[in-house]
Amino acid sequence: MSLIVQKYGGSSVADAESIKRVAKRIVDTRRAGNDVVVVVSAMGDTTDELLDLAGQVTPMPEPRELDMLLTAGERISMALLAMTIKGMGHDARSFTGSQAGMITDARHGAARIVDVTPVRLREALDEGAIVIVAGFQGFNRDTKDITTLGRGGSDTSAVALAAALDADICEIYTDVDGIFTADPRVVSTATKINRISTEEMLELAAAGSKVLYIRAVEYARRHGVTLHVRSSFSNAEGTLVINARDGEKVEEAIISGVASDLSEAKVTVVGVPDIPGKAAQIFTILGKANANIDMIVQNVSGADTGRTDISFTLPKAQGAIALQALRSEQESVGFEALQYDDQIGKLALVGAGMRTNAGVSARLFQALSDARINIEMISTSEIRISVVTRADTINEAVRVVHTAFGLDSDGEAVVYGGTGR
Ligand code: ASP
Ligand code: MG
């Protein structure tokens, strides 16, 4: 008998019909002789709608109350799913994050899991029930308050439960057939990947691929959880995300995918004195402001001026705070001006095989040049090349790069649901 954790995203439980469809899938898994633990997200775009609503009553919602509000979304879907399964004649029981033993730190809106004590889930499983857990939420022991794990956090809930329960597999059900070489919403000829390493998946997730959230992949990698990403709308095989260091075989394609991200802005600190300690000073200020810095580029300094420009990208939502922090230290750092640009897009090409293949960057730059797309920043890791372009050229950039690396398939990738919101 296997223990299977299944996670269903918002678009898979968007309405009553979808909940019934998912319930049938869960019952089939149970009937096949498995123990089943299900993690659900809020229905459809519920979380976004609740956020909009909060914004309508106050400009800066209190984080504690915002978490109370948002966690209600997952409670609705868990209860509906459990009663659907019950109605089909099978034992099912729903649990909130705190009932499930998801213990987190106290950071509202971005809590980290510190411990998982799924005692009640074990008991329910032992009694033969199908267990349904509200994703995205936890509980802090010190404040005794309810927390949320950050957007897309249900993936992390599922992986954490799979690790704590020592599940055989963690299935992540979504509205596409698996992980593709690009977002099927942008590139209709994207190709499904059958197996991918956690290492490559981490890079894709960090680069903006939304099919799996980065913290879930990190957690899976650390705890050796095998993920199976698949569609709740079809019976297609999906994608296995595998810990390559467990000795499992992964096909080493040169390129595994192209991801893009429109959520970042670019800040340029103009005229920084080119002397030791200035970069340290700037990024210490940004660190104190809790800015998540992504790409950093520093130019050579003008020979006559002794000054240089430093550019970096960060989430748009953190732009105002970062600028304010830098501005308040302008005199002590000694820079000349700040520029802020939130009309950028980031494209990343990821592949473990690029380690041993020369010419990957040349081919990428040529494809963008042929499409007359200007590159504004470049950064690389061992298995990734990222470039920043204008936001309005990013989808075109993804398509031409996807084609240039021979990633297009003959068929059309299906998007079964969801608004991509
Ligand atoms: N409902 C939450 C969100 O939309 C969590 C999740 O879907 O994973 O971000
Ligand atoms: Mg959601």
- Domain positions in the chain: 3-174, 248-421
Residue reference for tokens 């600190």 = 269
CATH of domain 248-421: 3.30.2130.10
Residue reference for tokens 């996807």 = 402
The DSSP bridge pattern shows strands 307-315 and 296-298 to be antiparallel
Ligand 2 centroid–CA 150 distance in Å is: 11
Residue reference for tokens 């990403």 = 229
Q: Which two tokens stand for residue 239?
A: 């994608």
Residue of the CA atom closest to atom 9 of ligand 1: 151
Ligand lying nearest the CA atom of residue 135: 1
180 three-state secondary structure? strand
136 lines ligand 1 (CB under 6 A): yes
Judge if 3-174 and 248-421 fold alike in CATH terms: no
Say what the pLDDT of residue 421 is.
Answer: 57
Round to whole Å and give the CA distance between 216 and 352: 20
Say what the pLDDT of residue 246 is.
Answer: 55
Along the 421 residues of the chain, how does pLDDT read in single tens digits?
A: 899 999 999 999 999 999 999 999 999 999 999 999 999 999 999 999 999 999 999 999 999 999 999 999 999 999 999 999 999 999 999 999 999 999 999 999 999 999 999 999 999 999 999 999 999 999 999 999 999 999 999 999 999 999 999 999 999 999 899 999 999 999 999 999 999 999 999 999 988 888 899 999 999 999 999 999 999 999 999 999 998 655 555 556 789 999 999 999 999 999 999 999 999 999 999 999 989 999 999 988 777 889 999 999 999 999 999 999 999 999 999 999 999 999 999 999 999 889 888 899 999 999 999 999 999 999 999 999 999 999 999 999 999 999 999 999 998 888 887 765 5
pTM, to two decimals:
0.88
Ligand lying nearest the CA atom of residue 42: 1
Ligand 2 centroid–CA 137 distance in Å is: 13
Spell out the alpha helix ranges (H) of 356-393.
Answer: 360-370
42 lines ligand 1 (CB under 6 A): yes
If we measure between CA atoms, which residue out of 258, 202, 294 comes closest to residue 394?
258
CA dihedral (404, 410, 416, 418) in degrees, to 10, reads 10
Say what the pLDDT of residue 302 is.
Answer: 77
43 by Cβ neighbours in 10 Å (0-12 / 13-18 / 19+) ranks as: buried
Say what the pLDDT of residue 249 is.
Answer: 58
97 lines ligand 1 (CB under 6 A): no
From the candidate CATH numbers 1.20.1560.10, 1.20.1530.20, 2.60.40.10, 3.40.1160.10, the one assigned to the domain spanning 3-174: 3.40.1160.10
